Chain A
Amino acid sequence: MTPQARTRLAVVGKPDMGKSSHAKRLVKAWLTRGLRVVAVDPHDEYSKDGNPTRLVELGPLRKRMTALELARTPTAILEPRLSLSVVVGDSPRSAARGFMLVARLVRAAEKPCVLLVDEVGLWTNPARHPACHTAAAELATVAISDRKKGISLVVVSQRMAQIPSEVRSTVTDVHAFLQDQQADLEALEARCGQPFAGEVSQLRQFHHAAWSDVATQQKPTLRRVS
């Protein structure tokens, strides 16, 4: 899929189901098409220079900066061929604050881009840190208001229910790997309908189902991710 300004894509799936690899493949395809991409990257895995582990393949983004580095040189967000992973740390506080920085910079830059936010469930629970509440509100603002600024939003989460409800209601596309908890299936059903939620609950590892609001009448498609 090629994201448009109105695109609000949710990639959801339990750990080790292929969700991150799928998101990285999407990013690679978008970069090939010349789109500007910035990722909020708690686990430092979306750039070529990320933190390599045996379990995670690194993503295709060309540049990697910490949130602090980006705050010191915010002009990095203005690059014409933006391909940036912003490493925000994987604590709720640092991830929430890092996301808010990137979201505000992307908005201020006023240039079309794809904003990918990984592991939103890490910081959307306000009980974890006061900054999480503000960050969740910021995410909703991006989802609702920033499409006119040409910002496409991609949220990656282990669980559909962890995506704030204001954001879920704006989602235009869902790529779902296996979800088996009742709350997640209910959230999927509320947005995508019961047949899609039913398909998602039956998925095998590395398989995902894709849903788009422009094709709600179509049967959900299953695709194998190699």
Chain B
Amino acid sequence: MSDVSPELQAAALDFLAEEAKEARARAGAVNELLEDAAPKAAAGSTPTSDGTPAHDTHTLAQADFRDLAQLAWTFLDIAAVKLGGAHYKLAPDELERLLPPTEKVLRKYLPPDFVLSPEYVLAGTALAVYVPKLLTAPSDAPPAQGAQPS
């Protein structure tokens, strides 16, 4: 720009300086986003509303295992109580606590396009909770430890 008049040069340089300033600001903003995103990317993808990281098969498998274990433990707990001759009674919020893991387990083993209605979830929970209760006959034995007498 050596042969350009000073006014022409000043106008062009002002524009370039302003654009460079904007570009630096944009680059800074992008860097901040990248820095924010890096730890999340390292730890897995964005967690879902229930705290389970999505699109991470390892973590998802762990969550499923926890759910299955919880259901199995409940099943065995009820069965053990019944086999011990006691009546099992659900704690006040126990059914509500059991619904989310039941839903997760059902979703895991049902086809992806299967519409999982609340009825299915309730049926799944009932299967885990009430079937053992129905299969075992009531007895007059005193309640087992951890169970509440009905």
A contact residues vs B (CB 8 Å cutoff): 67-68, 70-72, 74-75, 77-78, 97, 100-101, 104-105, 107-109
Given A97-B15, A104-B14, A109-B8, 6 more contacts at CB 8 Å? A68-B16, A71-B19, A101-B12, A101-B14, A101-B15, A104-B10
Nearest chain A residue, comparing its CB with the CB of B5? A108
A104-B11 in contact given A71-B16, A71-B19, A97-B18 (Cβ < 8 Å): yes
Q: Which of B4, B7, B13, B18 contacts A107 (CB 8 A)?
A: B7
Give the distance in Å from the alpha carbon of A141 to the alpha carbon of B81 in the complex: 91
Nearest chain A residue, comparing its CB with the CB of B9? A74
Q: Is the CB of A74 within 8 A of B19?
A: no
User: What would be 10 A-B contacts, judged by CB atoms less than 8 Å apart?
Assistant: A67-B15, A71-B15, A71-B19, A72-B12, A74-B8, A74-B9, A97-B19, A101-B12, A104-B7, A108-B11
B19 to chain A, nearest CB (A): 6
Nearest chain A residue, comparing its CB with the CB of B8? A108
User: Residues of A contacting B43 with CB < 8 Å?
Assistant: none
User: Residues of B contacting A68 with CB < 8 Å?
Assistant: 16, 19
Q: Is the CB of A77 within 8 A of B8?
A: yes
Residue B3 at the chain A interface, CB threshold 8 Å? yes
User: Residues of B contacting A75 with CB < 8 Å?
Assistant: 1, 3-4, 8
Interface of B is mostly: helix
Q: Which 4 A-B pairs have the closest CB atoms?
A: A108-B7, A104-B11, A74-B12, A108-B8
> Interface size (B, Cβ < 8 Å)?
16
B141 to chain A, nearest CB (A): 79
A88 to chain B, nearest CB (A): 11
Give the distance in Å from the alpha carbon of A77 to the alpha carbon of B13 in the complex: 15
Nearest chain A residue, comparing its CB with the CB of B6? A108
Q: Is the CB of B18 within 8 A of A105?
A: no
User: Residues of B contacting A100 with CB < 8 Å?
Assistant: 15
User: Residues of A contacting B11 with CB < 8 Å?
Assistant: 74, 101, 104-105, 108
Nearest chain B residue, comparing its CB with the CB of A78? B8
B132 to chain A, nearest CB (A): 66
